[in-house]
Amino acid sequence: ARVSVVTGARVRVVNGARVRVVTGARVSVVTGARVRVVTGARVSVVTGARVRVVTGARVSVVARARVRVVTGARVSVVTVARVRVVTGARVSVVTVARVRVVTGARVRVVTGARVSVVARARVRVVTGARVSVVTVARVSVVTGARVSVVTGARARVVTGARVRVVTGARVRVVTGARVRFVTGARVRVVTGARVSVVTGARVRAVTGARVSVVTGARVSVVTGARVSVVTVARVRVVTGARVSVVTVARVRVVTGARVRVVTGARVSVVARARVRVVTGARVSVVTVARVRVVTGARVSVVTVARVRVVTGARVRVVTGARVSVVARARVRVVTGARVSVVTVARVSVVTGARVSGRG
């Protein structure tokens, strides 16, 4: 009843209160109000109220008012409030090698060999072949063959072949190869070859080659080569090459390949009040208020007052292998390697490539 659009070759499920759109060839994601970020390769996501950013290679993003957007190569972007888009042979704004359309009211455009940049009044948008960087209003644009940077009024820009640095009065960013950034005010960032980390107040989104991170206010983060951890207010984080541990009051997201949290390998676990989403390389877990979780290499057990959710490639939850289970009124989204599940009020759902039934 409240679903607006569902389009996609292999989209599984679209349903849920206040859900806007779910599209994608290989991944379907439906987010509700105040959802932070869900990204994946070949994913198209249209988010609902107060959604910050959705990014990924070959991604199409339609953003809501006051939404920050970050795009990668071969991306079409439709930007914020009161934006009109014109595409086709007579494109009035930008048409570049790998960028289709970038438009917006009062848009300033600078195009390079493989770069197109749009800097609208309040829109942060940067698209580059291998690096995406977003900064603040009043944008000055610098573009290069393989680098595009949009900086704010107080930003300093340095661009190199494989290193992009955007520094400003309130934004500090250091990026390495294969890294994408979206930074907000007062952001401090340190990244490695395959690690993307964003910390600080008002940070929106960070995406890397093998890491997706969404952070919240007052976050301090330390990441390893293959671990991404995102926490929120009053968060304490200790991460190693293959270990992530989050112990906080209001943890939002924990992601990373082979992340160990409280349990064994290939498992992502979020055990905390008001936990939103946890995603791992082969495991997705969504829990809600007062959740306690204990998981093992091939076993996930969730025993909570109001939540019954465990998903993952090798996770067994009431059902068989490759199963995603969502059963709760307030559960938002659970997505696995081959499973997309969106639940609605008082709905119990079990879907999987090899399993179909009730949990």
At 294, the pLDDT band (50, 70, 90 cuts) reads very low
What is the bridge-based pairing of β-strands 75-78 and 60-62?
parallel
Each residue's pLDDT tens digit, 198-236: 332 222 233 222 222 333 222 223 322 222 333 322 222
Note the pLDDT of residue 162.
24
71, 125 in Cβ contact below 8 A?
yes
Top pLDDT among 127 and 161 is at 127
pLDDT, mean of residues 252-261: 30
Give me the mean pLDDT over the 38-52 stretch.
30
Whole-number pLDDT of residue 277 = 33
pTM of the complete model: 0.12
Burial class (CB in 10 A: 0-12, 13-18, 19+), 222: middle
Confidence of residue 310 (pLDDT cuts 50, 70, 90): very low
Using one digit for the tens of pLDDT, what is the confidence trace for 13-26?
A: 332 322 233 332 22
* Number of Cα atoms under 13 Å in the Cβ half of residue 102: 30
- Contact by Cβ (8 Å): 27, 47: no
**Cα three-residue angle 224-227-230, rounded to 5 degrees:** 105
